[in-house]
Amino acid sequence: MKSTGAYNYSEVIGGYVLTIRKLAVLAVLGSVLASAGCTNPWMPVAGPESWDVRQQAVDVSGTGYRLPFALVNLDPRVMSVLANSTPGFYGTFADRRPPMQIKFGIGDTVSVTIFEAAAGGLFIPSEAGVRPGNFVQIPNQNVDIKGNISVPYAGSVRAVDRTPEEVQQSIVNALKNRAIEPQVVVALVTQNTSLLSVLGEVNNPARLPVSYAGEKILDSITRAGGPKGQGYDTWVMLERNGKRATVPFGALVYDMKNNIFSRPNDTIYVYREPQTFVAFGASGHQGQFNFDAWRISLVEAMAKAGGLNDFLADPASVFVYRGERREFAEALGVDISKFDGPVIPVVYNVNFRDPAGYFLATKFQMRNKDVVFASNAAAVEQAKVMNYIRLVTATVNDPIVAATNVYVLKAAINGAAVTGTATGVSGSIATP
């Protein structure tokens, strides 16, 4: 004997469907609202958002540690300051006078020639007969460890840190009461102390005597055979009296004020290192790029990186990361009291939405190891959130649809009439 009964499937799964969907929607909305207006650590992104850079909200690790930096917007005033900030020898070495006359040092070989006005004096006897001249040549000698040379009848004469004229006058003063109107010529035979060193990527590295006529940095490099490599990949480091500065080789060639005079004891080191910058974010290409020139502008750098991605980039949020000297950062208007150390992290912002921004960027000179970051547009981040919502809701719906299909199939097998609804399925089935 069989009995017939009605069974409503919506009562079985419909309630579960509504409950799960409500919970999923609430969870998604809660996460979106909780993260609105700030960087989502759970959302993929190529770098900091533009509002994070402007608000200096850089604590993305959750440790509470923040590295301070200064944000500087490019404008005509900033560009005028930047125009005077190019690294060079001119600003580092304040004394730009031509070299003073070379002075003797310990180890230099010196010649001394003494002249008398007539025979019968101290050095020219009256019975000397025919002579080539009224002078006597003293054998060459080195300046001794005490800084002196020895002259007959004058004794030890101080030579170290003195010019030939000063040594000559000292010898004349010592002989004038004994010789007949003595005159003295002192000359440097072998220059062993007034030297400069040219090292590194030059064809003939050597220690070179400083020129009496005075020579500049490029002249010294030329005497060492010139640089081996391409000029735009070549750097020149000058060390003098405990100070050190490094400039691209092109800065000496194209900006002649950096081509200062060489001085005794200078060390000039020439080396090759390609100038590079790094591009991240919403640029056409990401990675490290060579200058392939001794200097390039920000516009040229962006072109090398493929420009801005038309589907991702916010043209108003292109940033250049660079370390600047304290005194220069202060000239930019940065409050340097908030920073420690001689180098201050500075982030330059250029607005490519403004047509004038391109003119400013053509004058902004890139430096070696600069980092260029193009931030995503706000719409891109919103689209990511919407895709995330779709992913969550799809993940919730998939098992519900699968379960519904199982019940529909079971009902169909048992011969029940099944009707789909927005919240589930309903139908009746005959039961024994």
* DSSP 8-state secondary structure symbol assigned to residue 283: B
* Residue 212 or residue 374, greater confidence: 374
In the predicted model, is pLDDT for residue 276 greater than 80? yes
Question: Whole-angstrom Cα distance, residue 293 to residue 402?
Answer: 63
DSSP secondary structure of 34-53? HHTTS--TTS--SS--HHHH
Indicate the length of the chain as a whole number: 432
The highest-level CATH class for domain 109-190 is alpha beta
Question: Whole-angstrom Cα distance, residue 17 to residue 423?
Answer: 6
pLDDT-derived band at 83 (thresholds 50, 70, 90) equals confident
Question: Whole-angstrom Cα distance, residue 329 to residue 430?
Answer: 86
169 is written with which tokens? Answer: 């006058």
pLDDT at 404 (0 to 100)? 74
Tens of pLDDT, residues 287-325? 999 998 888 999 999 999 999 988 888 888 899 999 998
pLDDT at 425 (0 to 100)? 47
pLDDT at 24 (0 to 100)? 54
In the predicted model, is pLDDT for residue 205 greater than 80? yes
In the predicted model, is pLDDT for residue 63 greater than 70? no
Looking at CATH, the fold of the domain delimited by 194-272 is given as: Outer membrane lipoprotein wza fold like (3.10.560)
Residue ranges covered by each domain of the chain: 3-36+381-431, 50-87+275-376, 109-190, 194-272
Asked if CATH classification 3.10.560.10 holds for the domain at 50-87+275-376, the reply, yes or no, is yes
pLDDT at 227 (0 to 100)? 93
Residue 267 Ramachandran class (φ > 0 left, ψ -120 to 50 alpha, else beta): beta
pTM over 0.75: no
E-strand spans in 55-193?
Answer: 70-73, 109-115, 135-142, 148-151, 155-158, 183-190
Examine domains 109-190 and 194-272 and report if their fold is the same. Answer: no
In the predicted model, is pLDDT for residue 121 greater than 70? yes
Tens of pLDDT, residues 9-48? 445 445 555 555 555 555 555 555 444 444 555 566 666 6
For 226, other C-beta atoms within 10 Å of its C-beta total 14
Question: Whole-angstrom Cα distance, residue 95 to residue 273?
Answer: 28
Question: Whole-angstrom Cα distance, residue 388 to residue 119?
Answer: 110
pLDDT-derived band at 122 (thresholds 50, 70, 90) equals confident
Tens of pLDDT, residues 45-55? 666 666 667 77
pLDDT at 65 (0 to 100)? 58
Question: Whole-angstrom Cα distance, residue 113 to residue 133?
Answer: 11
93 is written with which tokens? Answer: 């070495």
What is the average pLDDT score of the chain? 80
